[in-house]
Structure 1
Amino acid sequence: MTGAASRTVSAEAMCPYRLVLEHVTSRWGVLVLIELLERPHRFSELRRAIGRVSEKGVSEKMLAQTLQTLERDGLVHRDARPVIPPRVDYSLTGLGREAAEQVRTLAEWTHRRMPDVARARQTYDEARTEAVRAS
């Protein structure tokens, strides 16, 4: 194992929560968790709901992968009912609800503070442009 590879394995061993945090805060993980806070959804309902708040929407494959990952982490419950046509509902577990509430709070903060972020970015970009001109 190379030095870089052993450092990566070591970092993962030291920070096992990092992967869960990545899942919860991923592009689609955030939207899935927030949407499921409202109520359980069928797959197609969830995909449409995410499409309404995301520019491009989420592909079936990516939504399925995200749901499986969140289910494996114990955040989402998949309820497959043996009816015709088959019905599968997705909902949050208690753990998932707790995580989703935290994610929603962060999303609300981001929305509220976006003007401040935009100003900071503009200030930074202007300073960088000045530095390039001066050099």
Structure 2
Amino acid sequence: MRDLYMKSGQGFALVHSITAQSTFNDLQDLREQILHVKDTDDVAAILAGNKCDVEDERFIGKERGQNPARQWNNCAFLESSAKSKININEIFYDLVWQINRKTPTYFIHQCCTYMKRVHCII
């Protein structure tokens, strides 16, 4: 089921907790699985270190959190807090920007034409 979501996904937010080593360790395998399923190295993705609001519980330093992003074709990186709503919108704005940049214009035109035919408003 997870592979199906990856195959049809256009962009991926890879999120780990800055307070838990295990979530950080899972990132590389998750990214490799996405690249394998998508059969490309060019995938819209952002790496986010979550829970930046609990600095006193930090286990993963910011520099260490950024390292995978640098190795992954300069993948975007942000620290966020879902609880405090820090950088949450920015994660999605960046991801949508990447997706739009990678989406061929003819595909966008086809989608818009289809939406007009079915009278769908987004």
Q: What is the TM-score of this pair, normalised by structure 1?
A: 0.26
Greater share of helix: 1
User: Which has the larger Rg?
Assistant: 1
